[in-house]
Structure 1
Amino acid sequence: MTRALDVVVLGAGVVGVTMAYALARRGLSVAIVDRRAGPALETSYANGGQLSYAYSDALASPGLLRKLPFMVTGGDPAFDLKLSADPAFLEWGLRFLRNCTAGRFSANTLAALELAMESRRAMAALMARHPIDFAHEVAGKLHLYYDRSAFSAAAEVLGIKAQAGVTQHRLTRDDAFAVEPSLASAKGLVGAIYSPDDAVGDPHRFSAALLKILADEYGVETHFGFDAAAARRRDGQIFLRSAQGDVIRADHIAVCLGAAAPHFLRQMGIRVPIWPMKGYSFTAPPGAAAPRISITDTARKIVFCRLNGSIRVAGIAELGNWNGDVDPAQWARLVDTAQHALPDAALYDQASRPWAGLRPMTPRSLPVIARPRPDLLINVGHGMLGWTFAMGAAERAANLLRPDFRT
């Protein structure tokens, strides 16, 4: 490469692609690199598809703390906690436990909500400038509850969010059936939280379409098959080297590597509190009673989402599993669990596109957005809300480099 770029973005999932967009829109010369053959082929490829702007609840909470012994012993089939003697896990775990208080849960949830609202505004602005076809629809979302105490606790969070101007409604079982008739088969339902302004969209289609706009209209370079191995500073510039020996020169790098970020940043002397939470999904044709509204089953920890004319189902949480491959047994369990939850939502015998992804969790359920040194931006740790947070997080990170930029 004959010239140094302003910024090289590491990672071409939804976080990396939106990061490249935020930087390029500020007039910077940008390249984006990824170890895969194209954009959004790992954790962003086939996630739940929900843009959960109103649902920003932090994972660490008093309710989860009470359930931890049950989870550790394998009592919760939807949540698998893999204990580890790794000091990084012990540190992460202690920080997570400290965030399980009522006060910190509330603060973290509201901080996540603020970022989610920024993302919604940034997504609307992007679509106004560049209409992108990615099966986007403001379909609304229902969180289903089968336990009265959990439903009451969720209703209390509703009050916290209402102060921030978020629209959500507490529904009785019959109200939920009226909003979404397909729930008639949901046995044992006690109530639901309805978020009418939440949306859905295909993150893989979004990433591919936005990257084409970046290349065609903003001059962003793409380097796929580039497995970033090391970054060295020399003569006032960053030299990014791939595992294959290729080198890209830039004034800055922006790390958007998800669960792979801790390993890459550690060699630069920087630690980030990220631990993987593996999830799975499948896609199937709609069934006789396919939901119109996006569904989150809080008891089984699975989501149902109409996407591209199909039903996307995602779920299972394996905290501490670093293997991104699809485990056939876990994937089959997800299909079976979904069928028991909503038996007519999809044609489960035609389930396809098995996917697994490593969601990068922080103890606070908030991403790490920082500029720890002048030549480095970090935008990592978006957890289960990477698709939701991506646009807002990118704007925040880009503002660290160009704080004087005005939209």
Structure 2
Amino acid sequence: MKVIVVGGGVIGVTTAYYLAEAGHEVVVCDRQKAPAQETSFANSGEISSGYASPLAAPGVPLKALKWLAMKDGPFSFRPKFDPKMWLWLARMLRNCTAARYAANKAIMMPLAEYSRDMLRVLREGTDISYDERSQGTLQLFRTQQQLDAIASDVAVLDKFEVPYEILDAAGCIAAEPGLAGGHQKIAGGLRLADDETGDCRLFTERLAELCAQRGVVFRFGNGVHSLDHRDGRVRQIDSTDGHIRADAVVLATGSYTERFMRKLHQRVPIYPLKGYSLTVPVADAESAPVSTVIDETYKVAITRLGDRIRIGGTVEMSGFDLTLYESRRAPLERSLRELFPGAGDLREAHFWCGLRPMTPDGPPIVGRTKLTNLYINSGHGMLGWTMACGSGKILADMISGREPEIDVRGLGPERYWA
């Protein structure tokens, strides 16, 4: 079967890899000149199955108001005259109940854990390298109040049998020795030893090379404009390079998936929330993080990637605006200086932003649309790197007529069409 994958980020390339492994003829189309040039380019580097949770959670509306009042808070809102923005926001707020949070998290965590396992299998089978580390994630709490508030999260970890440690300040420093030189009080931490880290862009580039060796054709610089459909099926895609026919099409187009589906009169509530990152060279290896440390106060993740440190954070609701606002740089720099002073050379920092494709309930959209040969693999939000391999394998199994290896109920686009 000939399958076109639209999108050359980590989701599209992993999907192409598993489709090729299943024996399909695969073509990947992307408007950029190389893989992983948009949302996958400089994310925070976490592969955090243990932290796979919906953004829509109890208490988030009140927290968001508090964050907006902070000078360098983790949430920024730039309202626009855009009905889709307000409709998405209303849908997200409806999911901020304990019952819906629990139900959505119960869909996301198995997918995240399956994806981590698939990544390990892929790594062992291909010897792919991408500045990867398997040394866990430490969620760092600066106040006792933050530490006391983790009971509900720990209960979920217990439910899904995710190994974890609750650490005091000394335990946090033992896990991340660089914290010993920090300027902030540490109340404690929650450490998930099974979490991993790695450079998403580097992984995607190298996996694309492996895909090409397996016969996948990459057509970069080839923007897809629309999908030509008839009799309930996609017949071909209309692209910069002309028409390309296919037996099946996968939309792995991130935040832009909604635009493609709207043209087909099938609406999916995917909306972009912008995130920022800094990438800095390591200046002092002994002061640098070993793996990922999440600064709970500012919702900033600090990750070691080889001889670099990636600092990522901020949820900014501003539509498709890719402006690099300097005001969002300050909290990233502050977290590194306060927790790991001297670890990185901020004078050489690369400042970046990307659009995270968010669904209002939390789980991504992985499944078939109303057109019998059109599939979506999108809406992973801040967990695209975490869920990429699992989502790609699931979609390849669906297209190949095989039963996915995990329960996929709640992942398909049909949940929005009732």
TM-score of Structure 1 vs Structure 2, range by shorter chain: over 0.9
Alignment partner, residue 332 of structure 2: 334
Alignment partner, residue 36 of structure 1: 32
Alignment partner, residue 389 of structure 1: 387
Structure 1 residues 233 and 134, CA, compared in 2 at 3 Å: closer, same or farther? same
Q: How many residues align?
A: 400
What is the CA distance between 1:196 and its match in structure 2? Answer: 1.0
Q: 1:118-267 alignment to 2 at 5 Å?
A: 118-184=114-180, 185-217=182-214, 219-233=215-229, 238-242=235-239, 244=240, 246-267=242-263
After TM superposition, the runs of 4+ consecutive aligned structure 1 residues lying more than 4 A away are 72-76, 234-237
Q: Match for 1:276: what amino acid?
A: P
- 1:303 aligned residue (287, 301, 304): 301
What is the CA distance between 1:148 and its match in structure 2? Answer: 3.0
Q: Match for 1:304: what amino acid?
A: I
Alignment partner, residue 346 of structure 1: 344
Q: Match for 2:320: what amino acid?
A: W
What is the CA distance between 1:299 and its match in structure 2? Answer: 0.9
Cα distance in 1 for residues equivalent to 2:183 and 2:387? 30
Question: Is the deviation greater in 32-41 or in 148-157?
Answer: 148-157
Structure 1 residues 267 and 292, CA, compared in 2 at 3 Å: closer, same or farther? same
CA RMSD in angstroms comes to 2.1
Alignment partner, residue 91 of structure 1: 87
Structure 1 residues 197 and 186, CA, compared in 2 at 3 Å: closer, same or farther? farther
Cα distance in 2 for residues equivalent to 1:134 and 1:261? 27
What is the CA distance between 1:329 and its match in structure 2? Answer: 4.2
Matched, 1:290 2:288: yes
Cα distance in 2 for residues equivalent to 1:160 and 1:46? 29
Q: Match for 1:148: what amino acid?
A: Q
Cα distance in 2 for residues equivalent to 1:306 and 1:105? 31
Alignment partner, residue 21 of structure 1: 17
Name structure 2 gaps, 5 residues minimum.
406-418
- 1:116, 1:389 within 8 Å by CA — same for their partners in 2? yes
Cα distance in 2 for residues equivalent to 1:341 and 1:383? 26
Aligned-residue sequence identity (percent) comes to: 34
The CA deviation string for residues 201-241 of structure 1, in whole angstroms up to 9 with x for no partner, is 11111111111111112x11110001111110259652211
What is the CA distance between 1:17 and its match in structure 2? Answer: 0.3
Name structure 1 gaps, 5 residues minimum.
none
Question: Is the deviation greater in 280-289 or in 230-239?
Answer: 230-239
Q: Match for 2:46: what amino acid?
A: Q
Structure 1 residues 260 and 166, CA, compared in 2 at 3 Å: closer, same or farther? same
What is the CA distance between 1:314 and its match in structure 2? Answer: 1.2
Structure 1 residues 198 and 406, CA, compared in 2 at 3 Å: closer, same or farther? closer
What is the CA distance between 1:178 and its match in structure 2? Answer: 2.1
- 1:79 aligned residue (71, 75, 82): 75
- 2:365, 2:379 within 8 Å by CA — same for their partners in 1? yes
Cα distance in 1 for residues equivalent to 2:22 and 2:336? 44
Question: Is the deviation greater in 181-190 or in 290-299?
Answer: 181-190
What is the CA distance between 1:85 and its match in structure 2? Answer: 4.4
- 1:155, 1:170 within 8 Å by CA — same for their partners in 2? no
- 1:275, 1:320 within 8 Å by CA — same for their partners in 2? no
What is the TM-score when the length of structure 2 is the normalising length? 0.90
Alignment partner, residue 277 of structure 1: 273
Cα distance in 1 for residues equivalent to 2:131 and 2:68? 38
What is the CA distance between 1:399 and its match in structure 2? Answer: 2.5
